[in-house]
Amino acid sequence: MRFMGDSPSRGSSEQEVVNMFLKVNMLIINFPHHRVLDAEMQALIPIEEVYNSFHCFLHSTLIGEFTLMRDEAYCQLLKQLTANTSSKSDSCQRGWRLLYILAAYHRCSEVLKPFLLKHLQQASRSAGAPYQGIAKACEQNLKKTFVYGGRIVPPNSMELKAMMAGRSSKRQLFLFPGGIERHVKIKTCTVALEVIEELCYEMGLHTLEAIEEYAIFLVTNRGQNVRPLNKNEYILDVATEAEAVDSGYSLWFRRVVWTQSLRFENELSVAMQYNQILPDYQKGLLNVLSHGKVSDQQFHQMSKLAALQHRAKDNIYTPSIHELSEYIAAPLFKKQPPQQWVTMATQHMQQVQPLSPHQARQQLHHLLCSLHTSSDGSRPPCGGAGQSHPEAQCWNQLPVCGPNCGGHEHTAGHSAAAGAGVVADSGLGKFWCLILGAVRLTGFLYRAWSCVELLPCRLKI
């Protein structure tokens, strides 16, 4: 009633009232683990309310039901919203918004669930009934809470003000490899899985197997701390926690497993995979030399890949020595004089000049995939024999699945958030590629968990 304006606020702000309301419900469910209240809780919750909560906890324990207090909160709210006669004009509206918040954080009991859902459905579907929109939103929040467990971080002042103004969503920035930006509409109960699905749909990926190969990472401290989000984590919970630690946090979208065939018809998908693979290739992590020697054919192959990288930047002029040194791994660039690289790249630029930047990235993808041809002639799932570019058939002599296949190196640069990932091949090569990729992934996870001391990691395993 304080929140609805029908009872004195006792000096508490709107956010303090909401936090107290949510914390009391959390306290009842976890009371054995909160025998000593912190100073904030003591200031927000009157001592008589603590005693009442403890009494309710004992009663709940005796009957084997831990959700009675939350059921009580739901019932009290519905009572206030039914035939509301308050003199405050916005009392009922604020009550519905409080119910909207409660449904996002706490589930009711299984006994109350069908009645609560029925009430919300009637309120949202009855012709001419007020508050149909927010009643429908409450129903959606409650259903998601039963699926994902409910949010656990109270809304900050900005989110609460937005909800009280009738705004229940925000535009959240997600960064693809290469700094490609995508804004996704995030609602109060949006979880990481829903964002992954939306971004995958934009890339033309609709199968469950393909979607499971992608993940979202929270990055703080200028890229020094990176952790993967559990797919059931609420985005606004993550954002609220991150803002308290680092206002310059970012959320990265990356591919982490590479077993499904690459999709070359979608421009965003090609750009995303291209930008994620390219750093590893430029560092030489995808190159394997026989006895440390480079054949003439391999020199031409690397020159072709350099020309494609140059064209992918929408350049049509001949690349300079400095640019070629960035396109070709340093150990390989030193294998012949710089001017020789320029001469070879000039020849290939004449061939790739008619291509668009997207076609150049697409062709580079085809060529790298064709270079994964195993000794028995089979092709890996990254491109598939049917998808291989005709010109790639003669480019199968440069091995790209070596000791550093699928390496991950996490730096402050957006493109290095995750490396090429784990690339599956056939036969013995596939086995060792997966094993080595797993070893490197273990190293990545070790570094990702290093952020635990600065940012609570709530992975639900």
pLDDT tens figures, 347-368: 999 999 999 999 999 999 888 8
Q: What is the pLDDT of residue 452?
A: 41
Mean pLDDT score, 25-41: 41
Contact by Cβ (8 Å): 280, 286? yes
pLDDT at 265 over 60: yes
Are residues 30 and 165 in contact, defined by beta-carbon separation less than 8 angstroms? no
Q: What is the pLDDT of residues 400-459, one digit of tens each?
A: 333 333 333 333 344 334 444 444 444 444 554 555 555 556 555 545 555 444 444 433
Q: Where in the chain is the domain with CATH 3.10.20.90?
A: 169-255
CATH for 267-374 is 1.20.80
Rounded distance between C-alpha atoms, residue 141 and residue 136, angstroms? 9
Cβ–Cβ contacts within 10 Å for residue 347, how many?
13
| Res. 145: pLDDT tops 60 | yes
Tokens linked to 164? 């009280």
Eight-class DSSP state of 218: E
Task: Please report the pLDDT score of residue 404 as a whole number.
Answer: 34
How far is residue 61's CA from residue 49's CA, in Å, rounded to a whole number?
Answer: 18
Answer for the pair 141, 156: CB distance below 8 angstroms, yes or no.
Answer: no
Fold of domain 169-255: Ubiquitin-like (UB roll) (3.10.20)
Distance in angstroms (rounded) separating the CA atoms of residues 274 and 382: 12
- Return d(Cα 360, Cα 352) in angstroms, integer: 7
Pair of tokens at residue 343 = 């001469």
CA distances from 327 to 55, 312, 342, 453 (A): 69, 11, 12, 38
Residues of the chain with CATH 1.20.80: 267-374
Q: Where in the chain is the domain with CATH 1.25.40.530?
A: 45-82+90-165
Query: Tell me: the pLDDT tens digits for 268-310?
Result: 999 999 999 999 899 988 877 777 788 888 899 899 999 999 9
Max CA separation in the chain (angstroms): 87
Backbone angles phi, psi at 410, to 5 degrees: -100, 115
Q: Taking a C-beta distance cutoff of 8 angstroms, is the pair 264, 358 a contact? A: no
Residue 324 amino acid letter: L
pLDDT tops 90 at residue 174: yes
Please state, in angstroms and as integers, the Cα–Cα distance from residue 129 to each residue in 3, 88, 166, following that order. Answer: 23, 19, 18
What's the confidence (pLDDT) of residue 126? 84
Q: Does domain 45-82+90-165 have CATH number 3.20.20.190?
A: no
Beta bridge partners of 251: 218
User: CB–CB of 227/448 below 8 Å?
Assistant: yes
Q: In this predicted structure, what is the pLDDT of residue 347?
A: 93
* Backbone phi and psi for residue 79, each to the nearest 5 degrees, phi listed first: -65, -40
